[in-house]
Amino acid sequence: MSVTSRYQQAWEGFWQEAPHEQGAVFWDAEPALTVARHLALFEPHLSDPGLPLVDLGCGNGTQTRFLADRFPRVLGADLSEAALELARAADPEGRAEYRRLDAVEKTGTQALHAELGDANVYLRGVLHQCEADDRQALADGVATVVGERGRALLVEPSEAAGALLRSIAAGPGGPPPKLAPVLRHGIAPGEVADAEVPEFLTAAGLTVLAHGTLPLTTTEYAPDGTRIELPSTWYVTGRAA
């Protein structure tokens, strides 16, 4: 199984039109406000910080580059070639490696595991907008990449984030400028029910080792001038008991 071509085209189209400068994409917040916070939650659970780290669904690589300065080998993987082009252009020194991967496709994640061995995984904002039929396969893909010793940190906007975004988009001024292209390309945020996420992980053979909530910082501002923060839930998971 791999993602539908509609979904793949939605992402390719989004990233082809996305501006290059950091902060121009809705979720492209500064790493200090995003991945740095997640790492503080992730690091105590890593059984081996020396394992390769895969940023699954890395987008334009803003968070990947931060990870690359902190782990020995970091690989950003994404469904979209256009996203990977942005990620490579923003990383001329090649601090991380980037490659195309459909995380829903079993043969792709199995080949990655065969190449890297067990890996740690960072996954931010990928499950909540993928198609309903793909969510279990995505969790299975995470389980394949982590193997026995790797750990994964997933952070996903909660279902309340979907409701919040829909109400912002329906406001008198319509969706704010950075949210508009996301919706125009048919990417629907906050679609996964909160209770389902740990169920997908468990069904993939993973154990939830820790979880909690955090505000997910965006780069967009509400009409009252405050920065839009989405309620989000994070999970640290792995095969360990």
Which one-letter DSSP state was computed for residue 147? T
Which residue(s) pair with 123 in the sheet? 154
Judge contact between 210 and 40, C-beta under 8 A: no
**Is residue 154 a contact point for ligand SAM (CB under 6 A)?**
no
Q: Which of these segments, 36-44, 87-95, 101-109, 190-198, binds ligand SAM (CB under 6 A)? A: 101-109
Q: At what angle do helices 135-146 and 106-116 cross, to 10 degrees?
A: 10
Min separation Cβ 199 and ligand SAM, Å: 19
Query: Which of these, 186, 183, 235, lies nearest to 206 by C-alpha position?
Result: 235
Using the rule CB under 6 A, is 130 a contact of ligand SAM?
yes
* 84 sits near ligand SAM (criterion: CB under 6 A): no
| 126 scored as a contact of ligand SAM (CB under 6 A) | yes
- Binding of ligand SAM by 53 (CB under 6 A): no
Q: What token pair was written down for 154?
A: 């997933």
Residue 132 and residue 147: Cα distance in Å, rounded? 24
Binding region for ligand SAM (CB under 6 A) out of 99-107, 170-178, 197-205, 215-223: 99-107
- Interacting span for ligand SAM (CB under 6 A) from 38-46, 66-74, 76-84, 201-209: 76-84
The residue from 54, 58, 87, 142 that contacts ligand SAM (CB under 6 A) is 58
Minimum CB distance to ligand SAM, residue 63 (Å): 5
Per the listing, tokens 């993602």 go with 3
- Does position 144 interact with ligand SAM (CB under 6 A)? The reply is no
Is the torsion defined by CA of 43, 148, 145, 128 positive or negative?
negative
- Cα angle vertex 229, ends 224, 232, to 5°? 155
Binding residues for ligand SAM (CB under 6 A)? 3, 11, 27-28, 57-59, 62-63, 78-80, 83, 101-104, 124-126, 130
